[in-house]
Structure 1
Amino acid sequence: MNTKYIWLLLTLIGFTACNDIEDVSREEVQVLPELTTGSVDFSSYVAVGASFTAGFTDSALFIASQENSFPNILSQQFAKVGSGDFTQPLMNDNLGGIALGGVQLAGSTVAPRLVFGGAGPVPLATALGRPVLSTTDLAVNNLTGPFNNMGVPGAKSYHLLFDGYGNIANLATKTANPYFVRMASSATATVLGDAMAKKPTFFTLSEIGGNDVLGYALSGGDGTDVITPSTGAVGVGFDATFSYLVTTLTSSGAKGVVTNVPYITDLPHFTTVPYNPIPLDAATAAYLNSVAAYGAYNAGLVQAFAYLVSVGAKTQTEADAEIAKRTISFSASTNNAVVIMDESLTDLTSINPALESMRQATSADLFVLSASSFIGTLAVPGNAQTVNGVAVPLEDKWVLIPSEQATIKAATDAYNTTIASVATSNPNIALVDLNSILQELASTGISFDSFTMNAKLVTGGAISLDGIHLTARGYAYMANKFLEAIDAKFGSNFVESGNVAKAKDYPTNYSPTL
């Protein structure tokens, strides 16, 4: 009997074991391949670029944003295959901004960071309810370069070659950059020179050309910050400068990834402020339409163009079209269009000095984000008849009219043609199409793991509170696009092996008390 029961027990154990094996075999177990580097040597990775490369976000650079910069995210993946240390010129705090001798430097790019104030972006000082002074001070705590992350916020293409860009004495003439001053290896160093001093075996060259058009856009195309021409010598024209940067970086056999330039007018900095935000009651609208206000201007337009037609300077069709474009009219509504200056209009001041080149905005016009806090203020404090954007037209610096947008697009297209040509002709270069990525963000949105990101301010998840630079999650997505490009060009398998950034590990918003 004992022998019988022992045999039955063994039989049952055997059936159970078979069932367990069968159950395990039915489970889907994903086995990822081992990470391989392909033809790339990651032992010395150097990142060259501007704000995106540095990790600039929420209108500032600070420790947390630098740690979430896309080059630092990439370096964490490269470390798995023997990459060396990746050094960054970390700021002194998480406040953002730069001071000089205990005095906060003026300007939006060197001020403490923006934070979410409940309804929208606000300065950190507003959220904390107290003044904020950056502890990153050029007079007392500069670092000694060079670094692996050579991202310099605000740098244009030719700035990377300028040997006075890190000289503190040049700050007074605005020919130096405070971010490079604090990280340059010497007062006469260049960004490219310091990058080459790290003897890169692999590099990223990102958003070169972005600031070359961004400065023009941020100033509303008013002429105070011109677009870098495509043509011209090295250090002057974009084409020759970009080619020189790539040639130098690859001169010792290094491989790298470059990016093209996105259409910056797709960014929420230029798409958030509506063209028609003015609420008016019936009485106010009637007054603005009266002869005492814009009624006289409208009548003057008819007279001036009648004169131009009579002397053969305009056809009647041309005159009628411009009169319709320039006629200013308000209504009892919550969405009246603002009044703007438009230098593309016919100059009528020689006929009538009161007929300035102004019109009401349309949906084709784009406004810089800072216009949101300017429209509706008083040009003359205490005088209700001097409302900016209504009684007082908005100056050129607040708005990008269609012709200015076309200028930006033409320059961007020219830059991108050069970048694509350089990448295509050089077997050591891969290309990331940032332009297509931003267009996708702005149109349909992008899925990143279980999250969907778009190009809306505050809520979109990809673009930070300044409306231009990325969030930490946006930089993580950007890092993954670099890894995809490296895999495709050089035969590595970062994506296939699962060695990529995960969306959940990167925030879209930083706390004021960070």
Structure 2
Amino acid sequence: MKNLKIYLFALLTFVFAIQSCDEDVDLIAQQLADNPLPGEVTGTPGSLDLSNYVSIGNSIAAGFQDGALYTDAQNQSFATFLGRQFQVTGVGGGSFNVPSINSANGFSGTNPAGGFFGRFELSLSLLRPLPTAGELPEAFDGDKSSLNNFAVPGMKMTDISNVGLANNGLYARFATSPGTSTVLGDALAVDPTFFTFELGANDVLGYATSGGADEGDITDAATFQANLQTSLGALVGSGAQGVVMNVPLILTAPFFRAVPYNAVPLDAATANALNGGFAGFNQALAGMVQATLITQADMDQRMVQYAAGPNPILIVDDALEDLGPKFDLLGLPATLRAGLEPFRQSRPAVATDLALLTAAGEIGRDLTGSGTVLSGISVPIADNFILTQAEQVNVITARATYNAIISGVIAAINAGQGSTVLAEYDINVQMADIAGLTPALATQLALSDAAIAAADGVLGIVVEGVNLAPDFSPNGVFSTDGIHPNPRGHGIVANAIIQVMNDTFGSTIPLMSVLPLRSVLTTD
């Protein structure tokens, strides 16, 4: 009887377990019915042949980030992201091969203490980018005939057919024949079926990042147009279709926004000491007004007066009259006249001036070791660290001119082909949103209707329900160099290009998820 009880108890336990399992199975089945597992991600190419996608561009398309070209950044460029999305089932894309730099940190400059600097990382304790240890890039030892990314950091529109681009080591390392081959020729040689074209920013960027030092750094419109027509004409003539990116609003990047114009914090004692040092200069200006050598308005913008708290950077403005000859007319002793020499075209910065990111390490630098000749404080900071409003107008005008040319050339080629073979990606739709432009300012900048509509006046861009910042913070979309996107920024660009393709060519290429991508690399 005892054994029978044990048997019956065991049987009841077994039946209860079976019943529980059945209930669990039913519950799981109901959950699956209510929340089905996602099926295989698929897409279609529409009227495009994406079997051999080629990227032509400059540093952004190459994946240059954090001041360097390094392996992880190459693998997280918008071009690489596009290549991956084109390989989704049904889209028909082939492999996408990059000329790997084979370097964890890349090269950003020579270290005065020995060796080389690599990519920058954001120091969370110092709140500024710090360089890693880097290495010089080596020649690409892979199969050059199977490459897909022909983007070269530093390349201008005028360089795409220039054999002299071999002087740029980042092209020479993968050029089929350095000194003879060209980027356009190498790209055409792999028989592309589809391409993205991202050139034009460098035709004005060098001028902007050098503080407007040389207007000759801006490519003239006729040369820009001729090279664009030749390049796109050759690519389309080969049978390829493509998406052409226009020139972004580069002045909204953190390189031009991270350092405020009034980045000189002073206590009252230091401000008073500096004011004592500038008393003679200010008196000289007042004397020149009395002698009708300059106007009161000119004097007002040049006078230096410090106070406790944040103060404007003392800058050089080459648009100002050079007062050197008029200083000579004051009849000052030689030592006093020599003391005025640095201030021939100086003035305190105003809110419309843009201090470059490079100015962060220059402001307050002791130029002589005496502790009294301080860059941007007791003497003007060099012109290449500041972009004045007049210089900004040059940048804005060049961008607007280039973008009008890009739109016109695309329209002309499509008309000549009798169908839409080229689509334009207006990156300023995203840039206007990220920068928090107002519709009025976007209109003033002659942006497209779509960019004006995206200008909501709120800093940052909402992606998958999260607002990403217009900076190189851990929540930002830029890399630590303040110019190039980080991987999340590249994901935003890739998705926007895919949307243009889907809208223009009838494809159904799925968008990628941006938030899982990393932002900036950080260090303590």
Task: Look up the SS of the partner of 1:48 in the other structure.
Answer: strand
Aligned residues: 451
Deviation per CA, 1:205-242, whole angstroms, max 9, x where unpaired?
A: 01x111111101111111286111112xxxxx111111
Task: Look up the SS of the partner of 2:423 in the other structure.
Answer: strand
Distance verdict in 2 for CA 1:164–1:460, change over 3 Å: same
Partner Cα distance (1:150, 1:241) in 2: 17
Distance verdict in 2 for CA 1:144–1:98, change over 3 Å: farther
Partner Cα distance (1:85, 1:397) in 2: 43
Partner of 1:442: 435
Partner of 2:163: 163
Partner of 2:9: none
Partner of 1:145: 144
Partner Cα distance (1:183, 1:78) in 2: 24
1:46 aligns with 2:54: yes
Partner Cα distance (2:377, 2:385) in 1: 14
Distance verdict in 2 for CA 1:199–1:367, change over 3 Å: same
1:114 aligns with 2:120: yes
Partner Cα distance (2:377, 2:252) in 1: 26
8 Å contact kept, 2:474–2:520: no
Distance verdict in 2 for CA 1:508–1:133, change over 3 Å: closer
1:370 aligns with 2:371: no
Partner of 2:169: 178
Deviation per CA, 1:284-323, whole angstroms, max 9, x where unpaired?
A: 3223223xx22221222232244346xxxx7xxxx12222
Partner of 1:508: 519
Partner of 2:16: none
Show the 5 A alignment for 1:68-79: 68-79=76-87
Partner Cα distance (1:43, 1:356) in 2: 61
1:288 corresponds, among 274, 284, 287, to 274
Query: 1:134 is aligned with what amino acid?
Result: E
How many Å apart are 1:280 and its aligned residue?
2.2
How many Å apart are 1:409 and its aligned residue?
0.3
Partner Cα distance (1:48, 1:416) in 2: 17
Query: 2:194 is aligned with what amino acid?
Result: F
TM-score, with length taken from structure 1: 0.82
Query: 2:287 is aligned with what amino acid?
Result: Q
Partner Cα distance (1:58, 1:20) in 2: 47
How many Å apart are 1:460 and its aligned residue?
4.2
Show the 5 A alignment for 1:378-389: 378-381=366-369, 383-389=370-376
Partner of 1:211: 202
RMSD of equivalent CA atoms? 2.8
1:268 corresponds, among 232, 254, 257, to 254
8 Å contact kept, 2:101–2:138: no
Partner of 2:380: 393
8 Å contact kept, 1:98–1:178: no
Partner of 2:15: none
Partner Cα distance (2:275, 2:423) in 1: 58
2:214 corresponds, among 223, 233, 242, to 223
8 Å contact kept, 1:51–1:153: yes
1:341 aligns with 2:316: yes
Partner Cα distance (2:183, 2:429) in 1: 28
Partner Cα distance (2:396, 2:234) in 1: 28
Partner Cα distance (1:276, 1:477) in 2: 33
Partner Cα distance (1:58, 1:253) in 2: 36
Deviation per CA, 1:427-473, whole angstroms, max 9, x where unpaired?
A: 21111111221121011221222432121232442100000001111
Partner of 1:5: none
Deviation per CA, 1:477-511, whole angstroms, max 9, x where unpaired?
A: 111011000001101112xxxx2211233111236
Seq. identity, %: 32
Partner Cα distance (1:24, 1:78) in 2: 30
1:89 aligns with 2:102: no
TM-score, with length taken from structure 2: 0.80
Query: 2:497 is aligned with what amino acid?
Result: F
8 Å contact kept, 2:463–2:515: no
8 Å contact kept, 2:62–2:149: yes
1:61 corresponds, among 58, 69, 83, to 69
Deviates more, 1:445-454 or 1:413-422: 445-454
